[in-house]
Structure 1
Amino acid sequence: MDMDDDLFSSRPEDPLALLARQDLDPLSFDELDARILALEAEIARIRSHKDTVTLHRSAADALFKR
């Protein structure tokens, strides 16, 4: 079984699952570099959102703490 199958098997039509299965062979060197930059930007966006969620969760926990 492929590692991607383990990570994404519960949502086979998830865009991330489709991305992980995409054939990279037709892509040029420049296209691969562009893809890496786009994915790194997406990782940064997700990390930023995760930090925001963590701050909101901490504020809510502090507010409702008895």
Structure 2
Amino acid sequence: MDLDELFPDKPKDPLTLLVRQDLDPLSVDELHARIAILEEEIGRVRAKISAAVDHRANAESLFKK
């Protein structure tokens, strides 16, 4: 999916700016650090998704009674 489709009205969105950043000036160590930070962010996002799904399931079960 293209980020322009995901954030069409947010050209200055940090995620959009991140993926458009030129990686050429970065060293191998900087690239490894970048990957580590992005993997941590992926974990944070996955945890948020899981919490949202659990919250919704709990709410649905509460209102089905």
TM-score by structure 2 length? 0.86
1:9 aligns with 2:8: yes
Kindly provide the amino acid, as one letter, of the partner of residue 42 in structure 2. Answer: I
**Structure 1: runs of 5 or more not aligned:** none
1:28 aligns with 2:27: yes
Runs of 4+ in 1 over 6 A off after TM superposition: none
**How many residues of Structure 1 are paired with residues of Structure 2 in the alignment?**
64
Alpha-carbon distance in 2 for matches of 1:17, 1:30: 23
**Structure 2: runs of 5 or more not aligned:** none
TM-score by structure 1 length? 0.85
| C-alpha RMSD of the superposition | 1.4
Fraction of identical pairs, as percent: 55
Alpha-carbon distance in 1 for matches of 2:57, 2:46: 16
